[in-house]
Amino acid sequence: MAATGERIVDGTDPIWWRRVFGELLGTFFLVLVSVGPGVVNQRLGGEPVSRTAAVIAPGLMLASIILFMGAVSGAHLNPSVTLAFALRRDFPWRRVPGYLVAQFAGAVTAAALLAGLLGGHGTAGLTVPAPGISTPLALVWELILTVGLLSTILGTASGAQNVGPMAAVAVGGYLALGGLWASPLTGASMNVFRSLGPALVYGQSRGWWAYLLGPLLAVPVAVGIARLLRGPGGGHVSRRTAQGTA
């Protein structure tokens, strides 16, 4: 996502552990603020955290994370983002497994903390298809939403359209806007680990494969769109943005 400065790209990157930790920490906070409102509402009763606040908060959190640690890891926080950057030749494939493990660990840790401190049961805070929304239909919606998110990220990371710190506003804004209208349908996850990590912790599996396949199938679609709009990836600016520059 958004970053500035110089990057280290060889296999002996001395701060690789910082980049991986950054992905764990960033995903932890993103999932904490995404799952937290539902768990808080269930614990306290009623709706002290409104639906509007619940979908805007993750967007604001994402923008904040991009600004405070995007230069370290690129602030992917989402396996679809990591895979899209790799497919665009902006991020080394050899680094993908480490990022995915860190993101999954961050998501599970956030959900486990919420479960340990606030309890919770059922699907509170989780992303599941709404009544009347089949799992295949939820998959289609998650695919469409994630294509938009990835297109925003790849676009603001490109050499032609890099907008620096404003990328945080664009990406966080898309996440919030997508949630405002689509969260009643599927929860508007757009992130495999944001859905499956908490689902694992809380033992809920309803519609799980929609939240696995939808965001993953969005990756080649969004990368194809980016190629049509901007040509092949692998440019200097987009590589710096994807890999971190600290």
pTM of the model: 0.92
**Stretch 115-135: mean pLDDT:** 93
Where is pLDDT greater, at 122 or 202? Answer: 202
Helix axes 135-156, 79-87, angle to 10 degrees: 60
Lowest pLDDT segment from 6-10, 166-170, 205-209: 6-10
pLDDT value at position 2? 39
Q: Which two tokens stand for residue 52?
A: 């509007």
162: pLDDT confidence band, cut at 50, 70 and 90?
A: low
In the numeric block, the tokens 């955290």 are attached to: 49
Count, residues in the chain: 246
Task: Break the chain into its structural domains and give their ranges.
Answer: 16-243
Looking at residue 192, what is its pLDDT? Answer: 98
Q: Tens digit of pLDDT for each residue in 22-72?
A: 999 999 999 999 999 999 999 999 899 999 999 999 999 999 999 999 889
16-243 to CATH, choices 3.30.70.580, 3.40.50.1700, 3.90.1300.10, 1.20.1080.10? 1.20.1080.10
pLDDT bucket at 235, cuts 50 / 70 / 90: confident
The answer to whether 1 and 80 are in contact (CB under 8 A) is no
Of residues 217 and 160, the one with the higher pLDDT is 217
Q: What is the mean pLDDT of the chain?
A: 90
Measure the CA–CA gap between 70 and 1, rounded to whole angstroms.
Answer: 6
Calpha distance 140→221 (Å, rounded): 13
Average pLDDT over residues 136-161: 90
What is the longest distance spanned by two Cα atoms in the chain? 52
What percent of the chain clears pLDDT 70, i.e. is strictly above it?
A: 92
pLDDT of 11 > 90? The answer is: no
**Using one digit for the tens of pLDDT, what is the confidence trace for 14-35?**
789 999 999 999 999 999 999 9
Q: What pLDDT, on a 0 to 100 scale, did the predictor assign at position 232?
A: 84
